[in-house]
Amino acid sequence: MTTCLKIGNWNAPWLAMRFGTPLYVYDAEKIIANFRRIVSSIPYEPKQIHYAIMCNNHPKILTLLLDVGSSLQVNSLQEYMLAQQCGYSKQQISVTTTNISPRDMKRFITLGAHLNLDSLEEVEEYGEITSHYGDHPLIKKEIGIRVFIQPGMLNQCATNKPYDPKARVGIKREKFPEAKRIAKKYGLKITGIHGYLASNVLDLEPFLTLSSYLADCAKEFEDIEYINFGAGFGIPAKPTDKEFDWGGYGQRLTSLMHSVSKYFGREISLKIEPGRSLIGDAGTLLCEVTNVKNMDTWTQIGVNCGFGIFARPYIYGQNAGGWHDIVVANKINSKPKRLYTICGNSVLQNDFLAEDRLLPKIMVGDILAIKNAGAYGSVLMSLFPGYKKPTEILVSEAGIKTF
């Protein structure tokens, strides 16, 4: 018996018919469950979970997360303004970016934002700007710094990424004394450190190694108030992938933060920045089959979305980091019949969404569901070559909200 894919309590083919395709669908209950799982896995207090807004910046999703107690991580002035428009306070917004312009830095400063600065030059720039305001009460004299991390520089690091001689993000540990000298020159306090290792990592060990390294780095700054352990927590893509061990990670961070707080003789705040792990598996992209094409040795399935609508398979490789499970939404329980290669509708020769997938017999008009499309999907849309922006909806037990 053929049944349909459900997203939350809603039939995916009905959603496709009601709102048209391509269609991004986000499951509100799944987002909330993901957030609460992360919070409960880390018993340490005080802590803040800063959702990385660059994964998916729709105001309805940001408001949903605000309601359950989330904070935000932003990477630009535009994201900061959006966060404030959605009701987040300055204390709930962490700003970590790179190559910030003097103009944007000045604007952040006048808004009272707290910045994690990426270089010695940025620390100098921040000091120069704030020096012109004297002791103005709205101008923050406290900063965080982003610590330089190389995938290959930490022992037991298992991110499978080679050492990159031109890795560019963050301040190297041997330059901490210079950072402190510059800060002292301008009357600044370095109150936090931030570290980021890699993207979509499922192994626990790299994060444990990173957390220990950042804890050691924090002890070099007497005014530390928080350690931000960053992001990069993965979600399973293939059936053989394992879940990230949030319980093991939370226990390690809790033990580590108690030790750090004891070292300083005061409570030090813990921050992390889950992005894709919060929103990725809560999103599904629905698209329609527009063409079934015999390529002699393989069968091409053409759909009404591609690189311009969903760029991840093209950017990260549809057989590598851009691999996404795809099902026929209106034939969810039908037995697989044959191998299909699913191709996008851009003019790019290698606009492949999935290659050699065993699926039920596919016909024009069928609805395909691309799973784990909640993060780095809509935010990467270029609409190339000239397509209309697809509808996006947030579904919940209470109803449907369109964006």
Nearest-10 Cα torsion for 151, 156, 158, 162: 40
Nearest CA-CA partner of 92 in 68, 110, 60, 119 = 68
Task: Give the H or E element holding residue 38.
Answer: helix 28-41
Q: What is the pLDDT along the chain (403 residues), one digit of tens a residue?
A: 568 999 999 999 999 999 999 999 999 999 999 999 999 999 999 999 999 999 999 999 999 999 999 999 999 999 999 999 999 999 999 999 889 999 999 999 999 999 999 999 999 999 999 999 888 888 889 999 999 987 665 544 444 556 666 677 899 999 999 999 999 999 999 999 999 887 889 999 999 999 999 999 999 999 999 999 999 999 999 889 999 999 999 999 999 999 999 999 999 999 999 999 999 999 999 999 999 999 999 999 999 999 999 999 999 999 999 999 999 999 998 988 899 999 999 989 999 999 999 999 999 999 999 999 999 999 999 999 999 999 999 999 999 999 8
Q: Tokens 């191998």 — which residue?
A: 339
- H helix and E strand count, the chain: 11, 19
- CA atoms 275, 280, 282, 285: torsion sign: positive
Q: Please name the residues in contact with 209: beta carbons below 8 A apart, sequence gap of 6 or more.
A: 154, 155, 156, 157
pLDDT score of 40:
98
Cα Rg of the chain (Å, integer): 23
Q: What is the 3-state secondary structure (H, E, C) of 44-103?
A: CCCEEEEEEHHHCCCHHHHHHHHHCCCEEEECCHHHHHHHHHCCCCHHHEEEECCCCCHH
pLDDT score of 157:
46
- CA atoms 23, 26, 27, 28: torsion sign: negative
- CA atoms 115, 121, 123, 129: torsion sign: negative
Nearest-angstrom CA–CA distance, 39 and 47: 9
Nearest-angstrom CA–CA distance, 264 and 401: 47
DSSP three-state, residue 134: coil
Please provide the distance, in angstroms rounded to a whole number, between the alpha carbons at the two ends of the chain.
34
pLDDT score of 134:
83
Dihedrals phi, psi of 301, to nearest 5 degrees = -105, 115
C-alpha angle 390/394/399, rounded to 5°? 125
DSSP 386: T
* Cβ 228 vs Cβ 143: under 8 Å: no
* Cβ 370 vs Cβ 326: under 8 Å: yes
- CA 181 vs CA 119, 143, 173, 190: distances in Å: 13, 14, 14, 11
